[in-house]
Structure 1
Amino acid sequence: MGILANSVSLCQFQVLLDNPPDDLFAWASEQLATKAFRPIDRGSEELSVGWVLVDDPQSSDFSEPRTFWRDHYLVFSLRRDQRRIPSALLKAHQERVEAEFLAAHPGLNRVPKQKREELRDAVRGTLLSQTLPVPAVFDVVWDTRTGRLGFASLNAKVLEMFEGLFRQTFEGSRLIAVHPYGRGEGLLDETGRAALAAENRAGGDSVLEMIEGNRWLGEDFLRWLLYQTLTESSRYTVNRPGPAIAGEGFVAYLNDRLLLKGGSESGVQKVTVVGPQDAFSEVRTALNGGKQITEAIVHLEKLEDQWKLTLKGETFHFASFKTPSVKVEKDQITDAASEKEAVFYEKMHVMEEGLQLFDSLYRHFLDLRLGADWPAVNARIAEWLAAE
């Protein structure tokens, strides 16, 4: 789903530029053009990957600033066109041409290895030329004020493809995944960052090591939020900058679906709890059995506005991030392009407000988790679970 959809899966990165250009938008236009998408529908190439316009995936012309430059945002899309040949079809055609070759060469009992490879390449090329490429488009929004970038996919292979193409396109740039530890560093003050560093359990500073070594952050956060949902107040206050006013109240809680994992002699065991819960008795039983919440649906509410997301505890990826509906007053729109821009800005507003509320919630947790009161809070949670 695109970034403007009512619900979007979102992976966030921090963009670092070694040598920021004086004219960022002119530079971005030139760089995007170097890796612009090239269509393969009239050829037989298996794969084509490149950048296209977010409003027109058929176009890869970045010469006009308005097509990808929206105030302080750079917005564009990654397009991947790929031809796929079913393995059964490839095998059937391969067997047919090999049989024809042997019939034409009665002195051979089997096709020589080199000839077989030649026949396979020929069959594959023929089938590719007869197969239409299937397109897929993934939106990118880069906030140049903060350096924060959102990518609309959580698929591991697509993320790897995006990261590689982004670095090739914007030379001198670095993409840092916004994982639980990194997100915490960005939210805390100097004292808080020092306390977080003291709890760092990673064996190195690579993204994978930071995620793997600090799984406890997502696990403790979701365990605490479950406890808050069922026993304490679900009201919090905005403590991060953004569209919402500092000190404004909002509600945050877990409901609908939770995924728990735990190791055993037979391997990793998973428990999925689905549906509205009154007491989460099944979840509490699983937690008592040594499992940890690794994924949950988080609800955020402020006045009449509501946000909902499936939080991946290990990575803090947002799956199915649903925001309030975007509404634009038609009488203020002069043309189709203006309408698209108005929808974009309104969507960015509600999305950033949801992220602001989530960061405020996470900052509240971090202050508690890294503070002197945490042992007492943790003891209360353990006592509550034991009483299940």
Structure 2
Amino acid sequence: MPVLRGAVTFSRFRVEHAKEAPSDIKRWLTRGLKAHAFEPIDRRSEDDRAAGFVELENADAVDFSAGRVFYGEYALFSFRIDSLKVPAAAMKAELAKWSANFEQENDRPASRGEKTQAKAQIKQMLRTRATPRTNVLDVSWNQTTQQMQIWAASRKVVEEIVIALENALSLKFVGLTPAAIAQTSGLDEGALGPTAELIGMDLPATAEVAHGEA
């Protein structure tokens, strides 16, 4: 839980409302988070990934009461991603065991169709036993400055969270990177490059003075 326990890599954005800002921010935000709340993976389906919003201090909670989302001028919540993967080694071992038992019971090797059917059943069995891998990324939104921080290192994950927030709340996000800030301020992006002093090169004037002294 980076927001409460220490600093990690994060991406920072300025938040803009696509429409007029709602009069009741708390009700609007909690309703949007609930509409896109996390739902566990259905093990009976083919889905191997699930993602959605959860409460900051409880990755299993999706009630989003105002007291659990708003902390002073901040709205704090998390984005949970679960992935379920059947280990290839376990799949191979179970299929080999099934094939040996089949051949012993039927006095013949299993056909391709029988193996395909058995493989599907084994995969479903292993899915029910597998433990999903859970990743929880925190989001902090300053309601005064309208700056949002997404505490994730992966650009792909940050983009996924931004898209989820855009869909849930109809917001627009402007990345607060040096290039984006320069563009907003009307500065030439080329002015952001390293100076001669920074990269250890002498400026022309310095070179002339040094030549004269020699």
- TM-score w.r.t. length of structure 1: 0.45
1:8 equivalent to 2:30? Answer no
Q: Which of 181, 184, 209 in structure 1 is aligned with 2:182?
A: 184
Aligned residue for 1:68? 69
Aligned residue for 1:51? 53
| TM-aligned CA deviation for residue 68 of structure 1 | 0.6
AA in 2 matched with 1:144: Q
Counterpart CA distance in 2 for 1:122 and 1:128 is 10
Counterpart CA distance in 2 for 1:23 and 1:380 is 60
Aligned residue for 2:154? 155
Contact persistence 2:197–2:203 (CA under 8 A): no
Counterpart CA distance in 2 for 1:134 and 1:155 is 16
Counterpart CA distance in 1 for 2:117 and 2:100 is 14
> Residue 181 of structure 1: SS of its match in structure 2?
helix
Question: Which one has a bigger Cα radius of gyration?
Answer: 2
Aligned residue for 2:133? 134
What is the percentage of aligned positions where both structures have the same residue? 20
Listed as ranges, the gaps of 5+ residues in structure 2 are 209-214
Alignment of 1:210-229 (within 5 A): 217=192, 220=193, 223-224=194-195, 227=197
> Residue 8 of structure 1: SS of its match in structure 2?
coil
AA in 2 matched with 1:160: E
AA in 1 matched with 2:29: A
Relative distance call for 1:6 and 1:382 in structure 2 (3 A) is farther
| TM-aligned CA deviation for residue 52 of structure 1 | 1.5
Counterpart CA distance in 2 for 1:130 and 1:98 is 21
Counterpart CA distance in 1 for 2:159 and 2:147 is 18
Relative distance call for 1:65 and 1:183 in structure 2 (3 A) is same
| TM-aligned CA deviation for residue 21 of structure 1 | 1.8
Relative distance call for 1:382 and 1:163 in structure 2 (3 A) is farther
Aligned residue for 2:24? 23
- TM-score w.r.t. length of structure 2: 0.75
| Count of aligned residue pairs for this structure pair | 205
Alignment of 1:233-248 (within 5 A): none
Alignment of 1:68-107 (within 5 A): 68-98=69-99
Contact persistence 1:98–1:111 (CA under 8 A): no
AA in 2 matched with 1:145: T
Listed as ranges, the gaps of 5+ residues in structure 1 are 200-215, 229-283, 289-376, 384-388
Alignment of 1:176-325 (within 5 A): 176-186=174-184, 188=185, 193=186, 195-196=187-188, 199=190, 217=192, 220=193, 223-224=194-195, 227=197
> Residue 165 of structure 1: SS of its match in structure 2?
helix
Contact persistence 2:86–2:127 (CA under 8 A): yes
> Residue 50 of structure 1: SS of its match in structure 2?
strand
Counterpart CA distance in 2 for 1:182 and 1:116 is 56
| TM-aligned CA deviation for residue 177 of structure 1 | 2.9
Contact persistence 1:2–1:8 (CA under 8 A): yes
Q: More strand by proportion, 1 or 2? A: 1
Counterpart CA distance in 1 for 2:204 and 2:6 is 40
> Residue 75 of structure 2: SS of its match in structure 1?
strand
RMSD, aligned α-carbons: 3.5
